[in-house]
């Protein structure tokens, strides 16, 4: 019996691209499937079950990617992965991202914090 193959085009639609948290979501999802899953950006193809390879892809917002899977559950893996991309990796669209949030020290920094 031959393995199934599935391919789907997606666009990175979240604000930060495929950063560490998004890559972790992709890896955790893909590892649920028996099929081999790859993500391609142009000629650069990486294993979707490897967080370091995903980060090395450097996929930013608005970039087109190709999802590929080969194995007994390839269709299910690609469907689930495409849904994750469409859901912005389950991040809140209005979330300004970690780079624009004030740190705890900045939030509580006032001149009277010293207790004097």
Show pLDDT as tens, one digit a residue, over the chain (116 residues). 568 999 999 999 888 899 999 999 999 999 999 999 999 999 999 999 999 999 999 999 999 999 999 999 999 999 999 999 999 887 765 554 444 444 444 444 444 444 54
What pLDDT, on the 0 to 100 scale, is given for residue 2?
A: 65
Active site residue 19: yes
| Predicted structure pTM score | 0.76
Query: Which parts of 40-107 fold into alpha helices (H)?
Result: 51-57, 74-86, 104-107
Which of 19, 54, 65, 67 is labelled catalytic?
19
Tokens for 15, please give them.
Answer: 């604000």
Give the list of residues 6+ apart from residue 18 with CB closer than 8 angstroms, or none: 12, 26, 54, 55, 57, 58, 59, 60
Domains plus CATH for the chain?
17-91 (3.30.1340.10)
């Amino acid at each position: 019996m031959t393995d199934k193959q599935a391919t789907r085009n997606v666009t990175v639609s979240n604000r930060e691209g495929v950063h560490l948290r998004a890559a972790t979501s992709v890896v955790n999802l893909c590892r649920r499937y028996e099929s081999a899953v790859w993500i391609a950006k142009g000629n650069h193809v990486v294993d979707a079950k490897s967080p370091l390879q995903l980060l090395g892809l450097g996929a930013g917002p608005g970039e087109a990617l190709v999802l590929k899977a080969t194995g007994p559950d390839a269709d299910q893996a690609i469907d689930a992965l495409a849904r994750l991309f469409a859901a912005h990796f389950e991040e809140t669209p209005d979330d300004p991202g970690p780079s624009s949030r004030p740190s705890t020290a900045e939030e509580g920094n006032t001149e009277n914090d010293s207790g004097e």
